[in-house]
Structure formats: C-alpha cells, structure tokens
Amino acid sequence: RVKTKWATTRAKFPATALALQNFDATYSKQLGDVWPSVRVGMLSEQKYGALMNTFASPDDAISDLHSRGCRDFISVASSSDDGKNSHELLQKSELHNHAATVDTFETATACTRISSNIQCLVFPRGDISRFKPARPGNNGLLGYYLLDAASVLPVLALDVQPGHTVLDLCAGPGGKTLAILQSQAVRFLWANDLAGSRTARLRRTLQSYLPKEILRIIHITSFDGRNWRNMDCTFDRVLVDVPCTTDRHSLMEEENNIFKRARTKERQKLPLLQTELLLAGIQATRPGGEVVYSTCSLSHLQNECVVEQAISVARREMGITLHVQDLGSFIQIFSGTFHFAPQTATGVLVLPHLCANFGPTYMCKLQRVS
C-alpha cells in the first residue's frame, strides 16, 4: 500500500465538515423542521441570476435569455401585483407585530418601491440550467453579471431614488455595487472595502460594465469601515453588507474557509465586527436616510442579534434613533422566486431550497430618524 504524502498533512477535520457540524447544531434549533430541506439546498449547486447591464444595451442578451425560459424576477413580481405598471410597484406594507419579540425599538410602516431599472433574469423554479458567461456588447461592456439573485434584494430594499448619494461600506467584489448603479438614480457612490485585493477586483469589474461617465461618479477606497465615524460626510442611503460565515461557501470550499481551526477566534468575533460596521453605517446615514444591513448567513447571532444590538447602542451611546422598516411586502412580492423564512424578529431571510436554490440572504432596513 502506498501512503500518499498529503495523507500526513491533510486536516483531520476539513473546515467544510466543521461548518456542517456547527450548522447542524445551531440551525436545527433555530429553524426546526425546516433545517433538513435548507441543508439539502445548501449542499447542492446554487442557482444564479443574470443582473442585466443596462449600460451595455443588452437587448440581444435579454432576448436570448428569454428564449431559454428566463424571466426578470423584479418586473414579473411588480406587474403581477399592481397590473397597471409592469415596472414599478408602490406598496404599503402591513405592520408586523414585533412588539412581543423586539421591545427595544420602534418599527415603521414602509413604502416598498421596486426600482424600475434593475433587471435580474432567472430560470424558473425547479429549472437548474446554467447561464453562459456574459459577452461584451457593441460598446465593449459586458451584458450581464452573474450573482446569487437573492443578493439583489438588499439593493432593492435600499430603494435608491434619483439624486441620492450612496455609501457601500463593504463593497468587494462588487455585485451589489453594480446592482445599485443599475438603478441609474445615483448621484454619487462611495464604494469601500478593507481588502485592497477586493477593491482592485471591484474596480476591474466596474470598468468592464460601466461607461466612463458613470465611473466618474464612483469613489473607491480601502479602509476599515469601522473608522467611518472619523469621516465628515453622510449619505442618503448606506449598504452594510458585512463579512459573515458565508454559509454556502463554508460548506463547499476549503479555501478561505472561516471554519478552519486557525480562524476560530476570528469567527467568534464576527458578531462584534458586524455590529461595529453597522454602527459605522448608521453614523454615515443622514438623518431621514436609510441603511440596509445584510449577510449571506442563516445565523440569528449574525443577523437579528446584530441589528438589535446596534439599534440599542446607537440610541444609548450616540443619541441616534432608528426605525426598523418593515420588509414584509418583499415576502409577498417575491415569494414566486425565493423561499423565505416564515418569521424573523426583524428583517427578512431567504432560505435555500432545492426548487429555488438562492441565498441564504438576510436583510434588515433601518431609517435614521435623528
């Protein structure tokens, strides 16, 4: 028998196995009966969406994708609900009664406006076809960007309006930054990420998708988002898409896996880092403006707990009042495309499911009142 060399150095417990063990212990409690089906989804191939690049005049790409059965999940959802305008939906959400679970802050009725310009095409439920790589159009810009379609939802929740200034605090590698710009409403966008390698990738991505006049309204930096309080500017909209346990990646890839034993401390400190980043995002939001917090984890500790902690610290230590905006209408509008968790104390959670294998994506929207 030949002993392979790597057998002596191979990790006894791969990080992916440690991640599964951890998720089995925590998510079976958190999600109960739903966990086995979410688990199967997360261990299977993820589904993508094609974020169309309106700056590339992607009509040919859209026709091609339509002929393969793809549909824009945003306009389909909008048109099925109001009947009059296929692209825009203005819907008053019902107030969820959070009082029993969340007594430390107020909730508010929100107007959910679905941006008329962002288009994201997906294959129908249960169809696991793959997209071809995007090709450049006549002007040399790529026709679409492939991403987990659920990660467009935090951008829709951000509800960027014409003339708005936007901060994307943890922007690399840039999928959501690109989606924000597809709204064609941004006056100025600041995209930041701590990692220089990620901002470099973000810059390359934006150059492949955006014309020069749009690149001019974007400012890219690489600094620790927690230090935002030292900056003297605020924004109409702030996206805080934090580093998290990236649950799907942690189950499938050894490389850069946060469940490696050497990264245990880093993993345990994630909720603290996430809270600090959200607090920085809150400080960067102008009074009256809105901040969206998002993760790609199912973890209650990284989702609702972070939001609740940030709201109470902001009020106690910074004198900032926040209203949690109700996103219940997203569940109503997009349940034809995504599988949502039945109840969350704050925000909404997209659950992976074999028939709609997007997510996990958690998002919560806060309005800064003072």
Residue ranges in contact with ligand SAM by CB under 6 A = 151, 170-176, 192-195, 198, 224-226, 241-243
Nearest to 346 by CA among 115, 97, 55, 172: 97
Looking at the Cβ atoms of 102 and 178, the one nearer to ligand SAM is: 178
Other C-beta atoms closer than 10 Å to the C-beta of 108 total: 15
Query: What separation in angstroms does the CA of 263 have from each of 6, 246, 274, 327, 364?
Result: 22, 14, 16, 34, 27
| CB 174, min distance to ligand SAM, A | 5
| CB 158, min distance to ligand SAM, A | 12
Distance CA 259, CA 331 (A): 31
| CB 55, min distance to ligand SAM, A | 18
| Selected catalytic residue, list 70, 120, 244, 296 | 296
296 is catalytic: yes
Cis omega (within 30 of 0) for bond into 173: yes
| CB 316, min distance to ligand SAM, A | 23
| CB 226, min distance to ligand SAM, A | 5
Annotate 189-247 with three-state secondary structure. EEEECCCHHHHHHHHHHHHHHCCHHHHCCEEEECCCHHHHHHCCCCEEEEEEECCCCCH
DSSP conformational letter for 303: T
Nearest to 177 by CA among 249, 117, 226, 238: 238
Other C-beta atoms closer than 10 Å to the C-beta of 194 total: 18
Annotate 122-170 with three-state secondary structure. ECCCCCCCCCCCCCECCCCCECEEEECHHHHHHHHHHCCCCCEEEEECC
| CB 91, min distance to ligand SAM, A | 25
Distance CA 357, CA 365 (A): 24
Looking at the Cβ atoms of 148 and 304, the one nearer to ligand SAM is: 148
Structure tokens at 331: 């569940």
Contact between 157 and 327 under an 8 Å Cβ cutoff? The reply is yes
Looking at the Cβ atoms of 200 and 214, the one nearer to ligand SAM is: 200
Cis omega (within 30 of 0) for bond into 211: no
Contact between 142 and 56 under an 8 Å Cβ cutoff? The reply is yes
Residues marked as catalytic: 296
